[in-house]
Amino acid sequence: MAIKNACFIAVLSSLVFLSLTTEARAQNPKTAHAVIPFEFCVEGSCLPAGDYIIEQVESTSYLLFRSTDGKSIAAVFALPVDEDSATEADSKLIFRVENGRHYLYGGWGPFGRRVVAVESAWAAPSGATRKEVPITFKQVSRQ
């Protein structure tokens, strides 16, 4: 009986913690932004340089890149490399540079490292073949 009570208390505590953290996120939602200073390609679509909002669609591996002016949009499926989360200050996008073109290779953020599925066949870019763009997080304004 004591074991059942202990399990019940543990589950109840977990649910309370989860509801509190979910409520805190709902009260302080943030969106991921990246100012990408060059044209870039992602899964066959090329997007112009600009300010982009990065949204998760249904999972941490399916991302939507949408320009803040609403003119450009691309969806990308990313494979998890690990679950080691980055702080907001260390979150970034990684681009592979080839023949003067920039290809979204992956990124590192709150849900760990991810590599774009079509880029996973390539070795991780380094040196002159690698560009990094920081991801910033902005408070969502409630209207």
**pLDDT digit string (tens) for 42-96?**
988 999 999 999 998 877 788 999 999 999 999 999 999 998 889 999 999 999 9
Q: Map residue 83 onto helix, strand or coil.
A: coil
In this structure, is residue 12 part of a structural domain? no
In a domain, residue 18? The reply is: no
In a domain, 59, yes or no: yes
pLDDT-derived band at 103, boundaries 50, 70, 90 = very high
- Provide the number of structural domains found in the chain: 1
Does residue 24 sit within a domain? Answer: no
pLDDT at 18 over 60: no
Of the listed ranges 30-34, 71-75, 138-142, the least confidently predicted one is 138-142
Measured between its terminal Cα atoms, the distance across the chain in Å is 50
Closest CA to 80 of 43, 109, 45: 109
Residue 91: domain span: 30-139
Within-domain flag for 8: no
Query: Domain for residue 20, yes or no?
Result: no
Q: Which two tokens stand for residue 86?
A: 């980055």
Predicted pLDDT of residue 143: 53
